[in-house]
Structure 1
Amino acid sequence: MKNIALLGSTGSIGTQALDVVRSHPDAFRIEVLSAQNNAALLIEQAAEFRPNVAVIGREELYDQVFSALDPLGIKVYSGAASLASVAQMDTVDLVLTSMVGYSGLLPTLKAVDAGKTIALANKETLVVAGELVTRKAAKKGVAIYPVDSEHSAIFQCLVGEFHNPIEKIVLTASGGPFRGKNREFLRNVTKEQALRHPNWVMGAKITIDSASLMNKGLEVIEAKWLFGLSPEQIEVIVHPQSIIHSLVQFEDGSMKAQMGLPDMRLPIQFAMGYPQRLPSSFPRFNFLDYPSLTFEQPDTDTFRNLALAFRALDAGGNAPCVLNAANEIAVEEFLRDRIGFLEMSDLIADCLDRIPYIAQPDYDDYVQTDAETRRIARERFSHA
């Protein structure tokens, strides 16, 4: 039985993780649930799973959550500091970090400091501060198991191969809803169009990132830190069917791929249950339903975000932190109809040019870089 702290329980990953827990009540118990804004769903989840602790991020929602859960004997806290604190609880075995964006960094660092096993769905943690997080994890002997479907695929391909050097990895991308479109088309796309992903059901932020290929760019940076790779060892290929979730090529030229229907519950369950493969009732892949699997080169001239991510990865230091913060503001403003789809890349490139470079940042440098990038990015909207 593993006691789970599920940080971000009301989002897409969080709700699917709870589906996994429902299917395996003898393997997992929910010790902590947290949400940022969705108090109603957090209350509903806590009433079902009866965690020891529930945390609501927005402090003004505390009274609503407390009044509903205190009679059930569930402790209720609020705010970012509380979230970081509960990630360190003695009763927690595994912390599944599924919050959105930069907010996942501090709780993950605190969980690593406390020696907790991490199931990482918050890719921004390693994008922003990959060197710091992985160094701390190595020092503490903490395992970080990836939940992203692509990184889970790489991890699954490496099981039994950890002693064999990797020549390269190939991260697959669906291409999103705008695959094959040109810049003229993208200039006028709406958020409603961008939110219609062809293969995956995800939250708004990651869906927009997928449409712009920034999600793949963030995954490239995350892969460097998860698997100890150089930028030259990471390749991206567009695979519209989303059946091959990623591949590893070894030094002898042999390749391994992990395949399956697009269903996030599989990588979530693998990370939570590792080293066991737990049974599931998930739909099974049938080759005859997919007689053709196709592959294309990503168009980084049209979808500049992927190229910007490689630029930040090559630069290292605090550049990926800048990339992430600028992208979070760009997506936020696109969803508010205050910036066009292509203008998101312009904003990110501008921030990479303007924010001072720090070659070897510490935690305080990351915090300052994130805040300064957001300030610069928001300047253009302050009078809009």
Structure 2
Amino acid sequence: MFALTEDHRDIRAAIREIAEKEIAPHAAEVDEQERYPSEAQKALTAAGFQAVHIPEEFDGAGADAISTIIVIEEIARVCASSSLIPAVNKLGSMPILLSGSEELKRQVLPSIAAGDAMISYALSEREAGSDAAAMRTRAVADGDDWVLNGTKCWITNAGVSTWYTVMAVTDPDAARPAQGISAFVVHSGDPGFVVGSKERKLGIKGSPTREIHFENCRVPGDRMIGAPGTGFATAMATLDHTRPTIGAQAVGIAQGALDIAVDYLRERRQFGRSLAEFQGLQFMVADAAMQIEAARTLVYQAAAAAERGDANTTFLAAAAKCLASDTAMKVTVDAVQLLGGAGFTRDFPVERMMRDAKITQIYEGTNQIQRLVMARSLLR
């Protein structure tokens, strides 16, 4: 039947309890002070929720894609910044899971599964955002090693992570730019690896976003992911698995905002009546709930399709991320409206949720790019 398993429901109950008791109380302060949510990382690691997707053979929980989605969604419901801990661990490690050697997997993944390390994903550059294949970061073979030079930007959790999956050009003369790109795993202790200053952002302020620099950064040859020239294909395959996680983050943000708005409408009185009795406001929450449920269903469908390797995975992943993030933006804006003047203050979380929702329409491919991906999938 079309329903979550009992295990999925148990995971939701467990992560929701952790989120509400140990993450939510710090969410406003994390945003206000623009500091890393260390309480969330500690709580998630203690419960084994920081990277549930890592397979059992690499000391992980071996959770399926739906379980991972549920974890991210429930954390995002109270703190979007904290939800990027499991989300980015999946993003950074997915290229290794898809294309890495057995030895590389055993070198990197157990430390992430144990919570001793985190991993970030480095694809974008200042002049290579949506056009990622135009990247300028270079990797040149030197004996058994590779030497990287260049700069990556918009790197989520940079400076916190120990490992970084990095795309770099190894063959600048390739027939097509994408065919000259390779993937590497860089360690924060590698010589020549430098972390830049934090970006000043609209939302998700608790998750540091930084540039990372490679200044003759020497990486052992056994840390190349897959064969030379396959990095861009691995990067795109990774997004089929991780765009639904951004959809889950967006669904969680939207659900959290709607929950707050519904509670407010029940409690607030105007003109001698509860706000919940006004039909115009009832329509707003009904629309929000309908849109969230539609987005959630598509996100779960996309995650399951990616795990099965369905032929329409690329379309579904793009559609899920696009629909869910557009929904999150609309629902959070409406939640601020439903709370009126109170919603415009930092006394209530909905203004933070509105700011946090915006990035879900931008990262892991803007929603304009998602529509291109969907159209090309349909018209091929």
Tell me the TM-score normalised to structure 1 length.
Answer: 0.27
What is the TM-score of this pair, normalised by structure 2? 0.27
- Between structures 1 and 2, the one with greater helix share: 2
